[in-house]
Amino acid sequence: MTMIDRRTVLQGGTALAAAGMLSGEALLDYARAWAQASPWKPEKGAKLTVMRWKRFVPAEDEAFMAMVEAFKKANGVEVNVFSESFEDLQPKASVSANTGQGPDIAWGLHSLPQLFPDKVLEMNDVADYLGKKYGGWTSAAEITVKQGNKWLGIPVASIGGYMNYRKSSMEKAGFKEFPKDLPGFLELMKALKKNNTPGGLALGHASGDANAWTHWLLWAHNAWLVDKDDKVVINSPETVKALEYTKALSETFVPGCGSWNDSSNNKAFLAGELHCTNNGISIYVAALADATKKEIADDVEHAYYPVGPIGKPTELQLHVPILAFKYSKSPQAAKAFIAFMLEKPNFDPWLSGAKGYLTHCLNAYDNSPVWKEDRKREVFSQSSKRSLPASGVGKPGERAAAAIADFLVVDMFANVCLGREDIKGAIAICERQAKRLYRGA
């Protein structure tokens, strides 16, 4: 058995990571040494129930559960993990927050801790410990989970979403590279449809994909739900231009986008029915793992979102913060578990297991091996650094989190693209909902 001392743990386990000592007995050895050095000592008989989002990449789940098992054995803490779909996770976390019953820990989406800031355990000590040790936090990730100086949760990672496309289809459409601006993107989508190799973007309540691309296009036109003072400003000429552009774009979409959730475009792409969409790297990972999808794996490429009239990237990436509820009977165990998750001997192999599906929010992981192993992952390495917070230019908090969770922007775009409302009517509905949400701001 490899013996690991307290000094090695306090130095971040860098030597262990470099030596690849990150599994089996070596990982358990490290976990035991970490538990001795940790400032958080789990309560006697501590039990934790962890709710997380659905696993999309099997190797990520395997690395995560290996870390969970090591923590359990080293700390004598019972840890039970269960998964919920993207669509169900936030409502179930809200019920737990309001009833004071349910999981101790929720690993959720976007600004989840901001939905119920008075119900979560403050995480300043965990954030300071990890930030100082690993080069500080990316800006959008930090803004997403903080209320003033209070950390409501820890931004574990982001699930980077970018353009996934079939290179052969793009080239047959007459494009040598993926367009970097919106006019070029529209022309590509028109050409793909003409060639019967269409693209498509989710217009249903897809928490990740639909929120990502609709906010990108809104912000790309310098249009915003609220301004820096949380004044509702959605009714603007810029919003009109964003919706006019998107209406034209939606006419190129493959049928069915109006009901898509976060797994729908994955299925359509892997079935050969879809040739351009926004998504994480999970399409590519799934294609690599399936011998019958080798043609797709070889052909798929990834690109940043095109830049709009605003002249700079306007991405909304899916940050996945973790929180602990105040009602938990094991708050010290919860903090220890969350800190342990992001230590290098755990997090580096976890990132590698995720194969680019997860992107770090701690700057020290910029040089993690996962980003060098496959050039098709490189785009995703920047997702947290390039992202705006979920609040856009507005203030992070309960209102901004609710606007995302309630799909205000998604529904405005869907109402126009699906013909349910004209542009004026769709904006009016969104404005009315936003003013109700931001009343008194």
> Which tokens hold the place of 302?
């990834």
Tell whether 94 and 150 lie within a shared domain: yes
178 and 150 in one domain? no
Give a yes or no: residue 181 inside a domain.
yes
Residues 243 and 330 in one domain: no
Say yes or no: 134 and 194 in one domain: no
φ/ψ (deg, to 5) at 343: -70, 145
Given the structure tokens 């936090």, which residue do they identify?
A: 137
Residue 1 domain-assigned (yes or no)? no
Same domain, 144 and 252: no
pLDDT of 403: 95
Residue 2's pLDDT is 43
Amino acid at site 300:
V
- Return the pLDDT at 441: 65
Residue with tokens 């309540």: 205
166 shares a domain with 267: yes
393 class by beta-carbon count within 10 Å (0-12 exposed, 13-18 middle, 19+ buried): middle
Residue 293, token pair as written in the block: 């999808």
Give the residue carrying structure tokens 């917070």. Answer: 389
Q: In terms of domains, do 371 and 429 share one?
A: no
Return the CATH number at 26.
3.40.190.10
Tell me, yes or no, whether 395 lies in a domain. Answer: no
The conformation of residue 157, written as its DSSP 8-state character, comes to E
Q: At residue 385, what are phi and psi to the nearest 5 degrees? A: -70, -35
User: What tokens were used for 421?
Assistant: 């409302």
pLDDT at 15: 45
- Whether residue 401 lies inside any domain: the answer is no
Is the same domain home to 11 and 113?
yes
Query: How many CB atoms are located within 10 Å of the residue 186 CB?
Result: 18
Residue 98 within any structural domain of the chain: yes
- The CA distances from residue 172 to 176, 188, 193, 194, in Å, are 9, 10, 12, 11
Asked whether the beta carbons of 101 and 325 are under 8 A apart, the reply is no
pTM: 0.88
Do 10 and 146 sit in the same domain of this protein?
A: yes
Helix residue ranges, H only, 58-208: 58-75, 86-99, 124-133, 139-145, 167-172, 182-194
| Parent domain of 204 | 162-316+406-437
Residue 392 lies in a domain: no
What pLDDT sits at residue 87? 85
| Contact indicator for 53, 106 with CB cutoff of 8 Å | no
Write the CA distances from 214 to 106, 155, 408, 411, 416, integer angstroms.
Answer: 26, 23, 10, 9, 12
Residues of the chain with pLDDT under 70: 1-23, 441
The four Cα atoms 412, 413, 415, 418 give a dihedral, to 10 degrees, of -170
At residue 36, the pLDDT reads 95
CA separation for the pair 287, 279 (Å, rounded): 14
pLDDT at 22: 53
Structure tokens at 20: 């690849």
Pair 226, 144 in one domain? no
Residue 178 DSSP SS3? coil
Tally of structural domains, the chain: 2
Q: Examine the domain organization and report whether 312 and 323 are in the same domain.
A: no
Specify the pLDDT at position 54: 87
Classify residue 172: in a domain, yes or no.
Answer: yes
Question: What's the pLDDT at 243?
Answer: 98
Please check whether residues 205 and 218 belong to one and the same domain. Answer: yes
Q: What is the pLDDT of residue 56?
A: 81
Look at residue 79 and tell me if it is in a domain.
yes
Give the integer Cα–Cα distance in Å for 318 and 383: 9
